Structure formats: C-alpha cells, structure tokens
Amino acid sequence: MKLIELKPKLSAELLDTIFHFANEERTALESVVFKAIDKTPTYLRKSLNILCQLEIVRISSAKIEIADEYFDRKREPTMRLLKDAIENFRPLQEFVSIVRQGKSEVKAAKFLKASLDIENETNDILRILSEYRRFLESEQTTSSTRAKKKSEERAEKAQFWIESDGQLRYVETKYSKDVIAKIESRRFKNPAFVDQQRIDALKTISNSQFDLSKLIRLCEEINDAFRSENYFSVGVLVRAVIDHIPPIFGMKSFGELANNLGSKSFKDVMCNLDNFNRKIADGILHTHIRRKEFLPNFTSVDCRSGVDLLLSEIINELN
C-alpha cells in the first residue's frame, strides 16, 4: 500500500461528478468523468486514487464503480462522505489508536509501515496522516460553525413562541402590542374556556388527600379544544371534570353535589351545569348516526360561567 496525499476539494468535486454520471449499476466511465472536469487527467487520477484508497470507489476496465454504502448515500454532501471515509481509513485509525496508547507519532508511523506493508517513508506517513487529521479537524470546526449559525438564525427568527398555558409570548423590543394583538386574534377564534388564573391557582395547591394533576390537565385540554373549535371534545371533557371532582366535597356524584352544596344560588348554577352538560355529553357520546346531523357549536357547549364558579369553590375548599 502507498499512502496518497489528500486533495479534499478536488476529491469532493470528482466524487460529485462520478455520482452525476453513475448509472443504475453504480458505474461511470472514467473518460466521461474526466472530460467533465476542467483539470488535467494526471491531476484528476491522483484524486481518483485517493477515492480508491479510501474504498469509496474502485476502478475496473476504465469504469469507476461506487461502493454500495456510498452510492446509497449519494444525496448527502460529498465532503461529509469523504470525512466518513477518512475516519474509517484503517491506517489512520490504527495510527490514532497507537498514539493514544502513549507511543510517539514516529513509533506509530514505523509500526504502521511494518504491519500494513506501507511503501512510504516514515516521514511521508507522518505528513500524509497529519493532513488527514487536519482535514477532519477542519470539517468538525466547519460543522460546529454551521450548527452555531443555524442556531443563531433560529433564535433570531423565534420572536414568537407558545407557552405551556397556550399563551402567545414574544420579544417586546421587536414587535408592538398592536401587532401582537392582531396575531393573537387570528391564532384562535375562541378565548380560553377556563380562566388561566383558575388553572394557576389549582397548580399552587398542595393537598395530601387529593392529587389535582388530572383536574389541571383536563382544564388545559378543554382550553386547547375550545380555542381550536373542537366542540365535541369540549362537551366530553367538561363532563369528565364534573364527574371527577365530587369526592373533594365528600360527595359520590355531581348530582349529589349540585343539590346539597352551598347557597341556593350556587346550587342553582350547579344544577344547571349538571343538566346542561350531561345532555350535551350524552348527545355526543350516545346518539347513533342519523340522516341529518347538527354539530355542536360555541353556544352549544358554552357553560364557562358554571365551570368557573365550580373551580373557584374547589380552590376555596382546598386552600
């Protein structure tokens, strides 16, 4: 084996051209490839020999055949393919491994020369492998720079974002509140069903008897569904809430709660909520398909005031 000096730019250009002319059998005529690049054949053959040495291609009867692994990845940047091939190049791998074991680079080069039957002199081996390592380091730096640039571009564009509560946030120095108000009004047709202050208050409650995580999540999902005009979901989720909370007040059912808890006005509201929501939810869940359907709308499921009063009572009870 004779190590060949690396010419990364020309090798990448050559590989691009080979991919361009390769047929379904993964081969391209050497003469056609060389003719397409404005370089002398002798100069191109050196780069072709590098690709052969790295086992990216092989030559047979004036045809260049691409290795299966690299042909399958032909849509990737050729510099990346070249980098991967160099990282897997056995002399370089063994050289790096020996140096990491504490041997000097000169001893590592001498060992490679003997074990792999390399024709180059020791100094040439050191110089060529150093070129390979510098190329890999430069590619790593380039990739890191590209990633950093993309990250900065994303950060620059990310002037708007959505918090977990569904609220739109923005960089105030970039956009006026008038602009934000217009965007917010177009993002959701409906307001929140459950007031965010109620959800925040529930999150602050720590109670050893009742875990409120399901109730909080139900409220958040009701908001998502209502804002997005998913009214079937709203009806079912509100039903889930009123069936979920009676034990907080020592009751077995919401009907029992509605008839026995609080003042007359509170009972009236809870009874209306129970009757109203149960009819809506029953219609959603249990009505069979018909010739003509009437889909629920904003008005059909709007029992926000009743749910708000119920949540405020839960907060008072557990605080």
* pLDDT score, position 24: 83
* pLDDT score, position 110: 92
Report the Cα–Cα distance between both ends of the chain, in Å, rounded.
80
Q: What are the contacts of 110-114 at 24+ separation with CB within 8 A?
A: none
The tokens of 15 are what? 């590989």
Q: According to the CATH classification, is domain 8-154 in 1.10.10.10?
A: yes
Q: Which of 148, 134, 16 is nearest to 83 (CA)?
A: 134
The tokens of 66 are what? 């691409």
CA distance 124 to 109: 9
Q: Which amino acid is at 197?
A: Q
* pLDDT score, position 258: 92
Residues linked to residue 161 through DSSP beta bridges, in sequence order: 169
Q: Which amino acid is at 21?
A: F
CA distance 314 to 49: 78
* pLDDT score, position 241: 95
Residues linked to residue 168 through DSSP beta bridges, in sequence order: 162
Distances 292 to 231, 288, 289, 295 between C-alpha atoms, Å: 18, 11, 8, 10
| Number of CB atoms found within 10 A of residue 290's CB | 7
Which residues of the chain have a pLDDT value below 50? none
CA distance 265 to 269: 6
